[in-house]
Structure 1
Amino acid sequence: MKIKILIDNISCSKKQLKGEWGLCVYTEFNGKSILLDTGASTQFAKNAAIMGIDISKIDAGVLSHAHYDHAKFYLRDAARENCYHTHKFLKFFTYQEYIGIYKGTLKKNANRIVFVNGDCEILPGVTLVGHKTPNLDEIGKRAHMSVKENGKYRPDSFDHEQSLVFDTPKGLFIMNSCSHGGADNIIKEIEATFPGKQIYAILGGFHLFRTPDDRVKAFAERLRELNVQKSTQGIAPGNAPTRFCTMCSATKSHKCTPAWKLRCRVPKRDRLPA
């Protein structure tokens, strides 16, 4: 398994990789290539070219959730085969400012999209898992994130969010670009979906920016209780990823690496550590 992070919010000047708010992850697994999200612009394609990746040859694309900073230009030339997304033509807002996929994109490219509802194995050993935890709209309410449906606003329940799960020899590897529904909830959902399987690692955004230290520490401790061995956090401003990894070290939770280190370090800076 090989992972390259094409987009994160931190730039890498030494490698001329520009960052932006959003996430894009390229993965090679069992002879296939998968693209998770594309960030907020065409920068993912420019970074891919610098890293020697031909995006036209990617086997499958996955959209983790329906927010603009993960989906712009996704269907232009990002994958030669199908793109997978949850079947939700809704409008998403934060503080009533539109943050959804650019209007008309999904309908315009419907012939290239496989809409999934529930668990879906898109390739051998690669499964999409949607949320199964009840009352996630309480998280949406606290985060001031909402959905406009039939002319009315309601708290976002994140039923448009899904995890990309790889069944590796070391255990299950989870990718969820923002983990709006809560990373610990997601891990529990994956455990329930794959009973008896060990959770090896989780990669994605945890939305810990401006989260008090005591809550970050509590989250690190919950991951320890869930027996997660490794994590990589991206799409977070400031020192949020580094702060979380420091908390993980302090609580002896698990091995944690900020996503920007995987993009920027030399050599082998694009590989997730084994």
Structure 2
Amino acid sequence: MNLKITTLIENNNDINNLLFNEHGLSLYIETDGMKILFDTGQSGDFIKNTELLKIDLSKLDYIVLSHGHYDHTGGFRKLVDEDYTSYNLIVGKSFFNNKYKIVEKDNYKYIGNSFDKEYVNQNNIVVKYIKEDIFYITENIMIFSNFKKSNDFEQINKIFQIKQDENYVADNFSDEIVLVVKHEKGLVVIVGCSHVGIINILETIIERTGMSIYGIVGGTHLVEADEQRLKTTMNYFKEKNICILAMSHCTGKYAVEKIRHEFVDEFIYNNTGNIIEML
């Protein structure tokens, strides 16, 4: 089964500096007869990049939004407003939580979606809210949620909050979902930000499927990792013999450079415009 992943937008620019880039993530995935858009970046500029990359968004089968932060969902409204509505939308069960970030004591900044349930309904978009542990798009394409905690060092940053009425509570990212493609070589795990911890995510997937991880693509939120967590994470990648480490966005520059140095053959600089193909 062929798998092709094109990074439509990401924090870093493309090699020739011809595409738009921004703090955010959007991936275009072609596999198992499906065309899937995974996240929509921050502004909608990913749409301009699809035109430059000759990608036709009018033939999308699914849009998967990994979690309800603006840098992953901000471009969705622009996509809809440009009359791209022929797909099914997949989001986590608590995707429309009111998400905030503590910028200083008693100062909260809204970092959630630019649209709500009413907007989705008004535009007649078919939406699937993921509540189950595994949802099958096809036999070979799965959505995972409800990740188990398997360690003590992957802690969710308490600066991320949810507003409930007039109160703020720590966000446990129950809305976070992950796309997994079953390939002959193993599982390819496509992540948005991995707020719940990349090892927690991978361990949950391995436990539920009994299969090995071949590759990781996307954001791992190692931007927050201290040296010990980063070292433990890289040792885990080695133990699991993961062959593709195409990390970007919230992985952070320091972690990316450490992983690049440690995994010379496995590392892929997954910047804007990068294409990963597995035959």
State whether TM-score is above 0.5. Answer: yes
Q: 1:256 aligns with which of 267, 271, 279?
A: 267
Q: 1:92 aligns with which of 74, 99, 102?
A: 99
Residues 55/207 of structure 1: CA separation in 2 closer, same or farther (3 Å cut): same
In the alignment, what sits opposite 2:120? 109
Q: For residues 49-70 of structure 1, what are the alpha-carbon distances to aligned partners after superposition, in whole Å with 9 as ceiling and x for unaligned?
A: 1111011111111000111111
In the alignment, what sits opposite 2:44? 42
In the alignment, what sits opposite 2:58? 56
Q: Secondary structure at the match of 2:249?
A: coil
Q: Secondary structure at the match of 1:204?
A: strand
Question: What is the one-letter code of the residue matched to 2:155?
Answer: I
Q: 2:217 aligns with which of 203, 206, 230?
A: 203
Question: What is the one-letter code of the residue matched to 1:178?
Answer: C
Residues 216/271 of structure 1: CA separation in 2 closer, same or farther (3 Å cut): same
Which runs of 5 or more residues in structure 1 are unaligned? none
Question: How far 1:35 moved relative to its partner?
Answer: 0.6
* Aligned pairs (5 A) from 1:161-240: 161-195=176-210, 197-209=211-223, 211-236=225-250, 237-240=252-255
Question: What is the one-letter code of the residue matched to 2:185?
Answer: K
Segments ≥4 residues shifted beyond 6 Å? 135-138
Question: How far 1:98 moved relative to its partner?
Answer: 1.0
Contact 2:143 2:179 in 1 (8 A): yes
**Distance in 2 between residues matched to 1:247 and 1:30, nearest whole Å:** 32
**Distance in 1 between residues matched to 2:270 and 2:184, nearest whole Å:** 23
**Distance in 2 between residues matched to 1:116 and 1:208, nearest whole Å:** 25
Question: What is the one-letter code of the residue matched to 2:116?
Answer: T
Question: What is the one-letter code of the residue matched to 2:23?
Answer: W
User: Scaled by the length of structure 2, what TM-score is found?
Assistant: 0.85
Residues 13/222 of structure 1: CA separation in 2 closer, same or farther (3 Å cut): closer
Contact 1:60 1:79 in 2 (8 A): no
Contact 1:139 1:157 in 2 (8 A): no
How many equivalent pairs are there? 261
**Distance in 1 between residues matched to 2:131 and 2:167, nearest whole Å:** 24
Q: 1:82 aligns with which of 82, 88, 94?
A: 88
**Distance in 2 between residues matched to 1:34 and 1:78, nearest whole Å:** 13
**Distance in 2 between residues matched to 1:273 and 1:35, nearest whole Å:** 18
Q: Secondary structure at the match of 2:155?
A: helix
In the alignment, what sits opposite 1:139? 155
Q: For residues 124-180 of structure 1, what are the alpha-carbon distances to aligned partners after superposition, in whole Å with 9 as ceiling and x for unaligned?
A: 31111003314999833x341111223321111111001101111111111011111
Residues 3/78 of structure 1: CA separation in 2 closer, same or farther (3 Å cut): farther
Structure ranking higher on relative contact order (CA contacts 8 Å, 6+ apart): 2
Question: What is the one-letter code of the residue matched to 2:168?
Answer: Y
Q: Secondary structure at the match of 2:87?
A: coil
**Distance in 1 between residues matched to 2:150 and 2:224, nearest whole Å:** 23
* Identity score, percent: 28
Question: What is the one-letter code of the residue matched to 1:20?
Answer: E
Which runs of 5 or more residues in structure 2 are unaligned? 103-107
User: Scaled by the length of structure 1, what TM-score is found?
Assistant: 0.86
Q: For residues 5-50 of structure 1, what are the alpha-carbon distances to aligned partners after superposition, in whole Å with 9 as ceiling and x for unaligned?
A: 0011011262511110110000110121111001001111000111
- Bigger mean CA deviation after superposition, 28-37 or 204-213: 204-213
Q: 2:275 aligns with which of 260, 270, 273?
A: 270
Contact 1:61 1:79 in 2 (8 A): no
Q: Secondary structure at the match of 2:182?
A: strand
Residues 221/116 of structure 1: CA separation in 2 closer, same or farther (3 Å cut): same
Question: What is the one-letter code of the residue matched to 2:196?
Answer: G
